[in-house]
Homo-oligomer: A and B are copies of this chain.
Amino acid sequence: MTAAASSAPPRADILLVPIALGDRSYDIHIGSGLLADPASWAGLPASADALIVSNTTVAPLYAEALAAPMRQRHRRVLQLALPDGEEHKTAAVLEQVYDTLLGAGCDRKTVLYALGGGVVGDMTGFAAACYMRGVPFVQVPTTLLAQVDSSVGGKTAINHPLGKNMIGAFYQPARVLCDLDLLATLPAREFSAGLAEVIKYGPIADVEFLAWIEANLDALMARDRAALAHAVKRSCEIKAWVVGQDEREGGLRAILNFGHTFGHAIETGLGYGAWLHGEAVGCGMVLAAELSARLGLVDAALVPRLQALCRRAGLPVTAPPLSALPIERWMALMRVDKKAEGGEIRFVVIDGLGRAAMRPAPDTLVADVIRAHAAPG
């Protein structure tokens, strides 16, 4: 980034994470007041037309704050608010984006802006990948989960009645703006769910970051901007490092699913919506740590350590009671998870603190782990 096009030097408090992907490289900007900062926009395509895709919850809060600086760069700034929620991540709702673009006569240089959480980001990115065979898009994630999870990896998709994220594309944004001010209105439960994905990066890749989160969790929970900036930056850096070695999801990228095999079983077993994804991942990490310890791969002290951290972050650390989710149901759900091969369930385990690996585990051992952490009843 050069300051040549700006009227002031770059702000020192804005962190940049460069994502190196050849001619699809882009930067993640992390900080406060990004939308009003000219440096956030420098170098992006200044097409005639632009479309802000948001949802009915976020648009009333932030669409105008995004539209104002965009009007300096685009002749027409269109807006579309999709219905809010995972159940609307469908082909029918995606069609609304195309209808809006074509109804307004938007050409193949139009820039799309995704203003919202993961659902808006996934749908807008997929629409950008397909509209006239590809137009640029910019991510402006408004949840902590989307800032640390959707900023890196280029995954876009919609759901199909027969499965989540079944129809999609790998498509990289032109830029990601993680404006921490946008997190101010995020409900506490969603904020905690986002923290689960931040915490995840410690045990799988960075012991020092785990210690830093422990030391700064109170500041994070208070949504201190400087603490948040570091947490988002370090999460994006680690994810970029993993994805950079495995862009199309061959092997290593699977370690990002630490806690997710157990977590998906909870989400699906209780019905989507009962637990937030991040909540299920929080509890899932505790179970995966326990499994790792019982396999002799990591010191058992990791289990209470993660429990304490997740509890402080407002995340559930006890699995649903067996009456609500019996062992056989857990097993069946984890077996259909895409990491199961030949009937044997493979887990992301901690193989020495700060390092993750994929390992199968005997059903009996897995069942013991679940029993040890299920709530009574």
Contact = CB atoms under 8 A, between A and B. Distances in A.
Given A102-B160, A162-B102, A163-B102, A168 B133 contact: yes
Interface stretch (A42-50, A124-132, A255-263, A287-295): A124-132
A218 B155 CA distance: 52
Contact residues on A (Cβ < 8 Å of other chain), bracket: 20 to 34
- Best-buried of A99, A129, A130 by chain B (most CB within 10 Å): A130
Interface of A: 91, 95, 98-99, 102-103, 107, 129-134, 155-157, 160, 162-163, 166-170, 248, 338
Contact of A167 (B130, B155, B162, B248): B130
Contacts of A134: 169-170, 248
A131 B166 contact: yes
State how many copies of this chain the complex holds.
2
Rank and list the top 3 A-B pairs by shortest CB-CB distance, nearest first: A102-B162, A133-B168, A130-B167
A170 B132 CA distance: 10
Contacts of A167: 98, 130-131
A66 B50 CA distance: 45
B166 A129 contact: no
Contact of A129 (B91, B131, B169): B169
Contacts of A157: 133
B169 A130 contact: yes
Nearest to A107: B338
Given A166-B102, A167-B98, A169-B169, A133 B155 contact: yes
